[in-house]
C-alpha cells in the first residue's frame, strides 16, 4: 500500500513502532442492539455515544454511574443490575467490554465475538475489532480523531483543538447546504457545474451569518450566489 512506502512509514520504522492502518467507517446503529459490560466512567462514555447514535443499549453491571442511572430512569437504556454472566451476549450487533476486571472483559469479548458481534475492549486494544475515536458531532457533521490506540490522550487533545475551529455553525452550514444541494441538483445543469458551484460557495461570510444565528440570511446568500453564477439555471434545465 502507498502509505507503507511514504515518509510517515519510514519515520515509524525508525521509531520502532508497528503501523497498522485502520479502515474508517461510520456505523449506522439506529435500533441495533448493543451491549456495554460495566457501568463505570469508561462504560458511560461508550454508552452515551451509542445512545446518541440511536442504538438500543443494554448495560450489564451491578453498579452504574450517576449519569447512566439518569439515562436508565429516562428509559434511554436497559440496565441488567448484576455482574456479567456467560450467555448474556448472544444477541448483540456490537459489544463494548468496559469493566475494571481484565479477565471479565476478555471473557465477555470472546463470547460476544463468537456470537458474531463487533467487539471493543476498553483495556485490551489487541483483542478489539474497533476503537472508538474522539469525536465532535454537530448534527450530521461528525469529525473523528483516531490515534490507532497509540495515544487516546492525544486524540482527545486534538479533538479539543479542532473543536475550537469547527463550532456548531458548521453543523448549521451542513444542514443548509444539504437541503439546498438537492435543489441545486435540479437547477444546475451538469455535475461539473454543481462541483464548481459547491467548491466556490463554501465561504466564511455564510459561516459568520450562521454563527450570528442569521439562518435565513445565510440561506439567501447561497441562493443569491447560484442566481448570479447561473442566471439561466432558473429556467429549470436539467442535466447529468
Ligand atoms: C484503544 C482504545 C479502545 C477504545 O476504548 O475504543 C482505548 C484504549 C485505552 N484508553 C486508555 C486510556 C485513556 N483513554 C482516554 C480517553 C479516550 N479513549 C478513547 C478511545 C480509546 N481508548 C481507543 C483508542 C482510540 C485512539 O487511539 O484513537 C477515546 C478517544 C474515545 C472514547 O472512549 O470515547 C477517549 C477520549 C474521548 C474524548 O475525550 O473525546 C484517556 C484520556 C482521558 O480520559 O483524559 C486515557 C488516559 C490517557 C492515555 O492513556 O492516553 C487505556 C489505558 C488505561 C489504563 O492505563 O489503565 C486504554 C487501553 C490500552 O491502551 O491498553
Ligand atoms: N478505553 C478507554 O477509553 C479507557 C479504558 N480504561 C480501562 O477501562 C477499565 C474501566 O475503567 P473505569 O470505567 O474507569 O472503571 P470503574 O471502576 O469506574 O468502573 C468499573 C465498572 O465495572 C463494573 N464491573 C465490575 N465487575 C463487573 C462484572 N463482573 N460484570 C459487569 N460489570 C462489572 C463495576 O460495577 C463498575 O461499574 C479500566 O480497566 C481501565 O484500564 C481506562 C481509561 C480509558
pLDDT digits (tens, 9 = 90+) for 103-123: 999 999 999 999 999 999 999
Instruction: Evaluate: CB of 155 within 6 angstroms of ligand 1.
Output: yes
What is the percent of the chain with per-residue pLDDT over 90, rounded to a whole number?
70
Tell me which residue has its CA closest to atom 16 in ligand 1: 152
Task: Provide the pLDDT for residue 240.
Answer: 36
Q: Where are the beta strands (DSSP E) in 42-195?
A: 56-60, 77-80, 94-97, 118-121, 134-138, 141-145
Instruction: Evaluate: CB of 147 within 6 angstroms of ligand 1.
Output: yes
Ligand nearest to the CA of 128: 1
Burial class (CB in 10 A: 0-12, 13-18, 19+), 140: exposed
- Which triple of cell numbers denotes residue 4? 507503507
| Farthest CA pair distance, the chain | 68
Instruction: Evaluate: CB of 133 within 6 angstroms of ligand 1.
Output: yes
Task: Provide the pLDDT for residue 3.
Answer: 56
Closest CA to 100 of 42, 36, 150: 42
Instruction: Evaluate: CB of 98 within 6 angstroms of ligand 1.
Output: no
pLDDT at 1 over 70: no
Amino acid at each position: 500500500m502507498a502509505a507503507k512506502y511514504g515518509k510517515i512509514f519510514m519515520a515509524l520504522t525508525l521509531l520502532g513502532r508497528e503501523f497498522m492502518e485502520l479502515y474508517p467507517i461510520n456505523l449506522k446503529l439506529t435500533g441495533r442492539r448493543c451491549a456495554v459490560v460495566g457501568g463505570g466512567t469508561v462504560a458511560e462514555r461508550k454508552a452515551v455515544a451509542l445512545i446518541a447514535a440511536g442504538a438500543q443499549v443494554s448495560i450489564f453491571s451491578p453498579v452504574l454511574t450517576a449519569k447512566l442511572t439518569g439515562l436508565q430512569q429516562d428509559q434511554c437504556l436497559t440496565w441488567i443490575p448484576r455482574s456479567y454472566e456467560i450467555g448474556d451476549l448472544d444477541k448483540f450487533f456490537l459489544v463494548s467490554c468496559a469493566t475494571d476486571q481484565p479477565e471479565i472483559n476478555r471473557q465477555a469479548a470472546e463470547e460476544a465475538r463468537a456470537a458474531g458481534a463487533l467487539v471493543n475492549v476498553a483495556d485490551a486494544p489487541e483483542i478489539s475489532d474497533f476503537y472508538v475515536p474522539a469525536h465532535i458531532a454537530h448534527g450530521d457533521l461528525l469529525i473523528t480523531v483516531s490515534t490507532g490506540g497509540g495515544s487516546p490522550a492525544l486524540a482527545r487533545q486534538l479533538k479539543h483543538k479542532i473543536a475550537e475551529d469547527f463550532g456548531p455553525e458548521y453543523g448549521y452550514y451542513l444542514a443548509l447546504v444539504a437541503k439546498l444541494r438537492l435543489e441545486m441538483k435540479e437547477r444546475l445543469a451538469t455535475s461539473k457545474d454543481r462541483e464548481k458551484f459547491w467548491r466556490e460557495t463554501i465561504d466564511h461570510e455564510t459561516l459568520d451569518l450562521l454563527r450570528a444565528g442569521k439562518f435565513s440570511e445565510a440561506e439567501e446568500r447561497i441562493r443569491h450566489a447560484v442566481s448570479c453564477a447561473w442566471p439561466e439555471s432558473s429556467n429549470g434545465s436539467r442535466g447529468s
